[in-house]
Amino acid sequence: MSDKRTGAQILCEALIQNGVDTMFGLPGGAIMPFYHAMWEYRSELRHILCRHEQGAGHAAEGFARSTGRIGVCIGTSGPGTTNLVTPIADAWMDSTPMLAICGQVSSAVLGKDAFQETDITGITMPITKHNYLIKRVEDIAYAVKEAIFIATTGRPGPVLIDITKDALQASIVPDYSKKIFLPGYRPTYQGSKKQVKAALDLMLQSKKPVMMIGNGVMMANASDEVMAFAERYQIPVITTLHGLGAFPQDHPLSLGMPGMHGWVHANRAIQESDFLLNIGGRFDDRVTGKASTFAPNASIVHVDIDPSEIGKNIEVDVPIVGDAKLVLLSLLEEEPEEAKVTQFHQVAADWLVYVRELQAKHQHKQQYLNRPDTSVMMPHDVYAVLTKEMNERGNYRVVTDVGQHQMWAAQLLDWYRPRTHITSGGAGTMGFAMPAALGVAVAHPEDTVWVVCGDGGFQMTNQEMIVVVQENIKNIKIAIINNGFLGMVRQWQELFEGKRYSGTPLTSPNFQKLAEAYGWTGITVESGDQIEAAVQQAYATDGPVLIDFRVEREVNVFPMVPQNKSIGEMITE
Amino acid sequence: MKTHILVVLMQDHPGVLNRAVSMFRRRGYNIASLAVGHTETAGVSRMTVVVESDHVEQVVKQLYRLVEVLKVSDVTDDPTVEREMALVKLHVPSQQRAEIVALAEVFGAKIVDVSVTAMVIEMTGGPAKVDNFIDMVRPFGIKEMMRTGRIAMVRGARGHSGADLVDTGWQNDVAGAASAAAQ
Ligand SMILES: Cc1ncc(C[n+]2csc(CCOP(=O)(O)OP(=O)(O)O)c2C)c(N)n1
Ligand SMILES: [Mg+2]
């Protein structure tokens, strides 16, 4: 008798056994048995109460992306789970290992439109890697094990478990020993030797090689292997938005970011290359521009753990299905003739000189300021100070939201370490940054976590600021790039729609006072000469700080590739 | 667009058909015909789907992304036995009965119900033959008709059994996969 556990207790124990120690959620009727049980396990299973389930979901994402571990979020049936839909979709688009645990009405009333019943497994079917509706207590322990296995292996992604209230309440003697049995799920980790050899042969014949690294490198923790490979063959490295930090940007071989708001020289290098090795990037349209015009002269090798990504957007010459790290290790094991390699180094060096010349011509960070006059505070001035102060102190992670400030952060801040740049890329979810930073800060108490956010997106989820106070988290600083507009949309309106500013001018509350109301330190910065003091004060303050940077309102992000144009055609002012 | 016949073996779990069909819908793949049922192996169901696509490799890969999908085969260019069934209710005055019976015989169709003014005919065969039969009886006046989706099986000894796919002795190499992922 004494060995019996309720479904809710089994859920707690299964989570702990599968490596979970932190969860973000908000309770309600159907999920209450889980919260009841959680109390006994609270020393091993930390629950962080968010103010909105969307916040809980993004916090779980921030936790997961900054650590590589599973991020867990919890919502109760009905609205509690529909509020999780946005972060689940975000995790799906950016391949983030996430477990969403949802309460469901009792099995006896399931399907009868009971109070707070929502078909969350139906709703999330297209945006989860897998999902479960659990109606029997006997199935809970195994479902947790399998769900976390699926979410964290192969190409990671969100998995949802919906558990009926009666299953959480019923008691049995649990059995945690059932082995995972998934005959249809066998991710390929090792790349084919033959393909690896073919890729290398192709590369050594090329004269203008580039390597492009994406989220897959981050998730496979393959930064060291990227470095070893790039240095062994002296190939320039381009980092996508989600690859930022996977290769240090001050490395002599680093070219920076490609795509819609990437650097001219990085895009030109792709367009002129005759060999492109894409590791763990999915050729998103924000990277490729008009796909039919992308890298027209290049032989393309695509390494991805998900076979369905290969050939989806861009035709490739050598597909390699496998884990980025293991494929890079295989590439490094190959021993081509030294004479060939030496010759290749020479050619690659000439090519790099050419690309650097392009860079000198096009990448003047200041050139993109279109500064009306020097007395106004440009967003770029804020980034310049942030870069300096962050570099002086080290140990920073930056979480960005979605919009102009996000692209400026990608362009203007320095990215040296993996998992230090965290953003919503694939889904572009405004409201991501503040709650995601909560997850990052919890996972990395030793680092300073900067939120770089727009005045628009910040207002979507700023309620999570109070969670930071309740949990006594001190290592979060927020920089609002406050331009009084839904800036990125305004930029498109300015450039392509004759400045018809429909629905983009934005009134905001006094963010400093808002911060103070939440028990944070709030600072308002209205001119360029106050930036440095504000950032230094933020660092000197032992607690969360928000800085409202009232920047010049109508500034554009350049360079830019207009929608559906070739990345060879960038506008720079 | 090219028509492809895919044979899909999947774990027989609740919702698995929903997952597959939902994937087709959201990715804009056009299903011309679909048939699902049990197989010789317990726990495995088999779907025959006729899909119109110029990018069938993508359809196959997307199907494989579903955790419960065990095997997908494009049998379009293989020698196959393909079958559909149609039930056709015809308006048949007594003076035309003999003519219809003769026609049914030519096609190997079965007359499964007869009443004073109507007949129900069961026609089974390859899709072209079923089409042909329907064209032939249309002039008599079709009152009601329904057709099943197509099912297909490759000829010869080679095949698509689910048995080797759900070998119960097999288990995921949890430790191996996790360590590869964590590396
Ligand atoms: C939830 C959501 N709604 C709408 C959009 C469309 N959108 C993309 S960028 C943007 C503007 C964001 O404004 P703000 O947060 O102030 O950032 P800024 O561009 O001004 O830096 C909008 C509305 C989105 N990405 N996400
Ligand atoms: Mg703004």
Hey, is the C-beta of B68 within 8 angstroms of any chain A C-beta? Answer: yes
Which residues of chain B does CATH 3.30.70.1150 include? 81-151
CATH of the domain at A344: 3.40.50.1220
Same domain for A13 and A126: yes
Query: Can you tell me the distance from the alpha carbon of A319 to that of A10, in angstroms, rounded to the nearest whole number?
Result: 43
From the list A122, A186, A308, which residue is nearest B62 (CB)? A308
Same domain for A83 and A71: yes
Query: Can you tell me the distance from the alpha carbon of A402 to that of A433, in angstroms, rounded to the nearest whole number?
Result: 8
Same domain for A414 and A279: no
For residue A224, what pLDDT is reported?
A: 98
Examine the residue annotation and report whether A499 is marked as an active-site residue of this protein.
no
Q: Would the CB atoms of A130 and B67 count as touching at under 8 Å?
A: yes
Region B125-152: mean pLDDT is: 96
CB atoms within 10 A of CB A114: 15
In a domain, residue A525? The reply is: yes
Residues in chain A predicted with pLDDT less than 70, given as ranges, are: 1-2, 364-374
Same domain for A200 and A144: no
Same domain for A373 and A340: no
Architecture of the domain defined by B81-151: 2-Layer Sandwich (3.30)
Select the residue from B58, B172, B179 to test the A interface by mutation, using most A Cβ atoms within 10 A: B172
Q: Quick check: B180 and A189 in contact, CB under 8 A?
A: yes
Distance A548 CA to ligand 2 centre (A): 11
Hey, is the C-beta of B47 within 8 angstroms of any chain A C-beta? Answer: no
Select the residue from A182, A305, A329 to test the B interface by mutation, using most B Cβ atoms within 10 A: A182
How would residue B183 be classed by pLDDT, with cut points 50, 70 and 90? very low
Whole-prediction pTM: 0.96
In a domain, residue A570? The reply is: no
Same domain for A333 and A451: no
Examine the residue annotation and report whether A53 is marked as an active-site residue of this protein.
yes
From the list A125, A133, A152, which residue is nearest B181 (CB)? A152
Distance from the B33 Cα atom to the nearest Cα atom in chain A, whole angstroms: 22
For residue A59, what pLDDT is reported?
A: 99
Same domain for A349 and A230: yes
Q: Where are the alpha helices (DSSP H) in A206-291?
A: 215-219, 223-233, 264-272, 285-288
Which residues of chain B does CATH 3.30.70.260 include? 3-78
Q: Which of A361, A379, A398 is the last residue of a domain?
A: A361
Q: What's the domain range around A433?
A: 365-550
**Beta strand spans in A165-312 (E):** 171-172, 209-213, 237-239, 254-256, 275-279, 299-304
Q: Which of A138, A172, A206 is the last residue of a domain?
A: A172
In a domain, residue A400? The reply is: yes
Same domain for A72 and A32: yes
Same domain for A256 and A123: no
In a domain, residue A188? The reply is: no
Residue A445: burial class (beta carbons within 10 Å; 0-12, 13-18, 19+): exposed
In a domain, residue A84? The reply is: yes
CATH of the domain at A529: 3.40.50.970
How many domains does chain A divide into?
A: 3
For residue A178, what pLDDT is reported?
A: 94
Query: Can you tell me the distance from the alpha carbon of A68 to that of B182, in angstroms, rounded to the nearest whole number?
Result: 8
Same domain for A266 and A326: yes
In a domain, residue A198? The reply is: yes
From the list B10, B168, B177, which residue is nearest A187 (CB)? B177
Taking domain B3-78, whether its CATH number is 3.30.70.260 is answered by: yes
For residue B161, what pLDDT is reported?
A: 83
How would residue B167 be classed by pLDDT, with cut points 50, 70 and 90? low
Distance A557 CA to ligand 2 centre (A): 12
Same domain for A377 and A401: yes
Same domain for A423 and A280: no
In a domain, residue A419? The reply is: yes
Question: Ligand 1 in contact with A403 (CB < 6 A)?
Answer: yes
In a domain, residue A186? The reply is: no
